[in-house]
Amino acid sequence: MPQQAASCSFDFLSALEVPKRLHPSALGLSSLVRRSVSARRHQAFKRVGRGRSRDLTGSQAASMSAEDRRNLHAFRDYVTKTLDPTCILSYMAPWFKDDEVQHIQAEKNNKGTMEAASLFLKFLLELQEEGWFRGFLDALVHAGYSGLHEAIETWDFQKIESLEEYRILLKRLQPEFKTTVNPKDILPKISECLISQECEEIIQVCSNKGLMAGAEKMVECLLRSDKENWPKTLKLALEMDENKFSQLWMVDKGAKNAESKVLEDDEIETSDIQIFYKEEPECQNLSQNLSPPSGTQHSSPTCTPLKPRNYQLELALPAKEGKNTIICAPTGCGKTFISLLICEHHLKKFPQGQKGKVVFFAIQLPVFEQQKSVFSKYFEKLGYKVAGVSGVTSENILMEQIVENNDIIILTPQILVNNLRNGTIPSLSVFTLMIFDECHNTGKHHPYNMIMFNYLDQKLGDSSDPLPQVIGLTASVGIGDAKNTMEAMEYICKLCASLDTSVIATVKDNLEELEEIVYKPQKFFRKVESRTTDRFKCIISQLMRETESLAKNIFDELESVSQIQNRNFGTQKYEQWIVSVQKACMVFQLPDKDEESRICKALYLYTSHLRKYNDALIISEHARMKDALDYLKDFFTDVRAAGFDEIEQHLTQRFEEKLKELESVSMDPSNENPKLQDLSFILQEEYHLNPESRTILFVKTRALVDALKKWIEENSELSFLKPGILTGRGKTNHNTGMTLPAQKCALDAFRTDGDKKILIATSVADEGIDIAQCNLVILYEYVGNVIRMIQTRGRGRARGSKCFLLTSNADVIEKEKINIYKENMMNDSILRLQTWDKAVFKEKVLQIQIQEKLIRDSQGKVEPVPDKENKKLLCRKCKGFACYTADIRVVEDCHYAVVGDAFKKCYVSKLHPKPKTFGHFEKRAKIFCARQNCSHDWGIHVKYKTFEIPVIKIESFVVEDITTGAQKLYAKWKDFPFEKRSFDPTEMSE
């Protein structure tokens, strides 16, 4: 069994249950209790400054624990009026039993939130475990209850009590609020005053029960808000919407400072869920003792320093000596912990009056969130300031202030690329240490390489400014396309040159210790036969042939528009053919523009249907026919709900004619997929051997994730696994990925919920994300390069863990065996490079850098001269006219709006399913092509400051030269070199 990491929180000893008391405000006790608490804490802390002292005697600790328990009981009415306990239950998992959690949730559903909060407090005050009170405070912070946290931390509830007059007023005005306020309109403006879960509940109620019910829910949430500025924020939101309710909502009294507090709260509050992900080898078994991390010079006396393992000290040594280093070590060995040690050593080495500044880069957002939590938890106890900025949180954040005011900054790399490009951050010299997580990605046009281009230009140029130390972390440096050891060594040297590293640190002296901690799973290859007969595929293939024939009747040169030949239905190659045909059709031209529009639209529809049929065949190949059929049913339901023109009606009719036969085939037990039978056998066998097994099942596509989840849930022999899913956030083929909170919840559930025994994931889980320890990894038709192989294999951490590759394709197994060979080649290449003379290696790296810079400079990106000629934008689907480039205005450097009344006739709008406010923008509606039976997605309709404007996306249009008639496609606005004019508010008033 892995050892449990000790908590760094204060050891609160058990205390006797406190007798019930009167509400403190009724006795005038609030200030008395506060003064008493302050005096006693001052005596307890005066030797050690801020924080809870580890030097307290047992009796002092017990006294303080009892005091906190008494005070919490005394102020319980404030807590029950403010707290929705279901918002923090996930953070209190270590303290509450499952039946207690369920009891609290049921209490809320059956009796209400206040009753649930009372029950929560009852269970909380009965806790005897150490650290319960600090755990409660931490949960409040993570859930977003900043006001309640502050009040309990200081035992000063005056700010919350000052809101009572507004609660009374809002209760009195509730009937008027329900009938006059549209909660969807004002929610984005007041969301900072609510918990993120409450915002989601308001939106859900609006969707399910209507706007009045949503407004009632909003009132309920506002009455519980612990944010001092909510009355003023509500007032401002109502005034911005010119809502007549604002005349009734009088907040001048007692709210004179609320306006400035809005800005302050924006800086210190977050509605993001904070979840700490720990994988056992990384956090619980990464050191030789069990105390949480701490330091010496800045250390809080409540924490005992972690003692690193010998192999970790070996890996960290070159970096601690100030050398630019790539640390290459297996997943699960504690690279995150090693980076903490390096950071702490780096920050403490500066003499009095000087300060270090560290930036840590994480590519994926879940990894960013995870590392931000780990670094904050570790370093804030040592007195250092930690901040994090990602693409999700970068709106309205001043990067220069973030960098100036913090010691450690966690970033997604594109944030720094953008700020270097626009000059907000003048150079990398503002940092003293840069750490690149998953540094093997430093290549080509990756943001890591963009950052290092800046670094190397400074190094090889005339600048005398100091450069930061560079550390790279990876489980595998990779070897690219190398065919032999010499080529592999050259590839690794180029990576070292890109990161300007002089050392590749691997474990050599303490290998036995490393192998005791990091368990390399056994690997098994399972070759499975496909279905011998496939009636489902025959029927779908016939429908695809008919659809292709119809497309050729419209355009007989269909075969010649793409170079992809020998394509088969149900393959990635066929998908590539569809994409290439669609692109060619979008710029297809005829003298008769109406005929051109008709043909382009028809080809778009035919190829879209072919794409869905192809997707269904891929799902059927790897999952159940039933799942593939459900996928098609959902597609045709969406088709009926949209334009549904004559072509779509005909294609839908043909599908429905075959539907009965398809349903019969898909329900026939004899058509069960042999691959699923083998997967079921593996899972049943492994869980029979070890009922506590934890499994990650890797698959290639999101559609397959959904299909396998349904299969497990509907399989009586496997449903006990209660599968969770984890997919990426991006949008592919019009399918939106998981949101960041959903990803974090999925990971947290897999880590903490013992009932969820399997996580089905795409590639998002194979790199960087620390997932709960598991002993079974299954690669289901899933194979990549050697880096991916090492990453996915590293998910199996437990002793005796196994990794299965299950496929019906012998080539997949062969590719994985080649990856194993390449891994050995990579390890051999690293060992050889480590034997090189240091001066020789340094010179090799420098020569590569000089050569790469010469190539980079010779290919210097020449900014295209903006084309001043006016161009047409045509709908990509129907080729209908949309607007001229002369009508396009650039808003805040990156959004493209169309001005003028003419464009309004070209589109229709529908309320946005996920309205959102970002910066000065309020996303309100989606806009679509207005031509009959087209409805192609063009972009969104927003409120920008006080202006209503349509914002379009270039990938929805074809650009046509007015003079020549030539047509082009652009994937991004930055690639379209037209003369860009900035948005001018005065134009809107003309």
Q: Which residue ranges make up the annotated binding site for Zn(2+)?
A: 875, 878, 929, 934
| Strands in 97-181 per DSSP E | none
Reduced to 3 states, what is the DSSP secondary structure of residue 377?
helix
Residue 159 φ/ψ, nearest 5 degrees: -65, -45
**Within a 10 A sphere around the Cβ of 331, how many other Cβ atoms?**
24
| 8 A C-beta contact, residue 884 and residue 871 | yes
Give the single-character DSSP code of 12. Answer: P
> How many angstroms from the chain centroid is the CA of residue 728?
8
In whole angstroms, how large is the CA radius of gyration of the chain? Answer: 31
Find the farthest-apart pair of alpha carbons in the chain and give their distance in angstroms, rounded: 92
Q: How far apart are CA 399 and CA 418, in angstroms?
A: 10
Give the single-character DSSP code of 612. Answer: H
Q: How far apart are CA 717 and CA 712, in angstroms?
A: 8
60's tokens = 């002092």
Reduced to 3 states, what is the DSSP secondary structure of residue 758?
strand
DSSP 54-73: TT--HHHHHHHHHHHHHHHH
Q: How far apart are CA 111 and CA 898, in angstroms?
A: 51
Q: How far apart are CA 133 and CA 148, in angstroms?
A: 14
| 8 A C-beta contact, residue 934 and residue 205 | no
Q: How far is CA 48 from CA 53, 63, 257, 301, in A?
A: 7, 18, 35, 7
Question: Given strand 408-411, what is the order of strands in its sheet?
Answer: 386-389, 408-411, 358-361, 433-437, 469-474, 325-328, 503-505
Cα-based angle 21, 25, 31 (whole degrees, multiple of 5): 105
| 8 A C-beta contact, residue 918 and residue 395 | yes
Q: Which residues are annotated as a binding site?
A: 875, 878, 929, 934
Q: How far apart are CA 157 and CA 790, in angstroms?
A: 53
Which residues make beta-bridge pairs with 473?
A: 327, 437
| 8 A C-beta contact, residue 337 and residue 308 | yes
Reduced to 3 states, what is the DSSP secondary structure of residue 724?
strand
Measured over the CA atoms of residue 918, residue 921, residue 922 and residue 924, the dihedral's sign is: negative
DSSP-derived pairing of the beta strands 895-898 and 888-891: antiparallel
133's tokens = 């009170």
Q: How far apart are CA 858 and CA 851, in angstroms?
A: 11
| End-to-end alpha carbon distance in the chain | 73
Measured over the CA atoms of residue 506, residue 511, residue 517 and residue 519, the dihedral's sign is: positive
Which residues make beta-bridge pairs with 922?
A: 917, 943
| Strands in 671-729 per DSSP E | 695-698, 724-726
Structure-token match 């801020």, residue found: 50
Which residues make beta-bridge pairs with 940?
A: 926, 951
Spell out the residues 6+ positions from residue 162 whose beta carbon is closer than 8 angstroms to its own. 228, 254
Nearest residue to 499 via CA among 432, 460, 443: 443
| 8 A C-beta contact, residue 895 and residue 940 | no
